């Protein structure tokens, strides 16, 4: 059964580790992530962007697929199904469809509007026992056509949002989605520390987990990060492994053209990526 992230976040905060959110794109992705989480006895959050939601034929299709896998793959670790960077309407649609967690990204609204919309969604989530992630300050890079500039959040605004009673808070600290430019100056730990000081026990979320070096990840966890999002790294791993299969001509040998064979190396590559990140985040054995 799907669970919210509330208990996962509380345990991660107490245990000084982070739970990975891995974005899904299709059946292979979902299966690879769930099997790895089960094997490593790690809690896990499946992330769905609005674009991926459309691609997978709508939120209820995804809920059906994930619930089916939890049962048929005999998954026992805590799994949350979470909307990533959702609009207000998408958050409501996911709640309706059976997601166990949503992110409302109101970071592009004036703070008053972000506060008002976040409050409405908290009320709905509380009623249904779901978790809600809010965001302050745009996070840089590009995801599903949304471009930001590596911005940092205002700690005072973070406190305003945290005080509403959100489950977890994403705050920009110079992190970027996707590949980091060679001249990226690194995470702003001064900003993270200021946010931590104003928001207290609030579990913080670090987006853009693909290209952040291991030492910075560890320091961010020490400073209160309890959830780290990973998307691009799995995409690159999958595509590289698939390209290798084709380039080696394996699709031309025997029944190598069978899609289950073509996609198998990509699935293994996603598994290896998820394993590496879960080990780095410290969530292995924490289910």
Q: Where does this chain bind ligand 13P (CB under 6 A)?
A: 23, 47, 84-85, 177-178, 207-210, 229-233
Q: Identify which of residues 233 and 286 has a Cβ nearer to ligand 13P in the complex.
A: 233
Closest distance of CB 231 from ligand 13P, Å: 3
**Which residues are annotated as catalytic?**
84
Closest distance of CB 18 from ligand 13P, Å: 13
Closest distance of CB 234 from ligand 13P, Å: 8
Cβ burial of 128 (10 Å; 0-12, 13-18, 19+) is exposed
Sheet of strand 176-177: strand arrangement:
146-148, 140-143, 176-177
Cα within 13 Å of Cα(5), Cβ side: 33
Distance of CA 89 to the CA centre of its chain: 19
Closest distance of CB 76 from ligand 13P, Å: 26
3-state secondary structure of 109: coil
CA dist 165 and 246 (Å) reads 50
Q: Identify which of residues 231 and 242 has a Cβ nearer to ligand 13P in the complex.
A: 231
Q: Identify which of residues 64 and 178 has a Cβ nearer to ligand 13P in the complex.
A: 178
Q: Identify which of residues 78 and 86 has a Cβ nearer to ligand 13P in the complex.
A: 86
CA dist 43 and 239 (Å) reads 26
Pair 115, 161: CB distance under 8 Å: yes
Q: Cβ–Cβ contacts within 10 Å for residue 285, how many?
A: 10
């Amino acid at each position: 059964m799907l669970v919210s992230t509330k208990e996962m976040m509380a345990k991660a905060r107490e245990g000084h580790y982070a739970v990975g959110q891995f974005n899904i794109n299709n059946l292979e992705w979902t299966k690879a992530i769930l099997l790895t989480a089960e094997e490593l006895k790690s809690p896990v959050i499946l992330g769905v962007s609005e674009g991926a939601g459309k691609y997978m034929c709508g939120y209820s299709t995804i809920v059906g697929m994930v619930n089916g896998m939890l049962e048929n793959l005999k998954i026992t670790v805590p799994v949350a199904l979470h909307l990533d960077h959702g609009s207000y309407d998408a958050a409501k649609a996911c709640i309706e469809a059976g997601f166990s967690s949503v992110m409302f990204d109101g970071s592009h609204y004036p703070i008053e509007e972000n506060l008002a919309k976040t409050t409405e969604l908290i009320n709905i989530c509380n009623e249904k026992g779901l978790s809600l992630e809010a965001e302050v300050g745009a996070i840089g890079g590009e995801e599903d056509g949304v471009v930001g500039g590596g911005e940092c959040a205002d700690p005072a605004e973070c406190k305003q949002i945290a005080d509403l009673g959100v489950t977890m808070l994403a705050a920009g600290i110079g992190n970027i989605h996707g590949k980091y430019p060679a001249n990226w100056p690194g995470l702003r730990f001064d900003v993270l520390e200021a946010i931590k000081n104003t928001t207290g026990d609030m579990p913080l979320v670090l987006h853009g987990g693909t290209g952040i070096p291991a030492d910075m990840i560890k320091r961010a966890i020490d400073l209160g990060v309890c959830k780290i999002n990973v998307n691009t790294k799995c995409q690159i791993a999958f595509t590289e492994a698939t390209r290798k299969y084709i380039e080696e001509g394996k699709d031309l040998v025997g029944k190598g053209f069978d899609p289950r064979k073509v996609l198998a190396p990509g699935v293994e590559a996603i598994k290896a990526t998820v394993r590496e990140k879960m080990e780095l985040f410290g969530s292995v054995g924490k289910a």
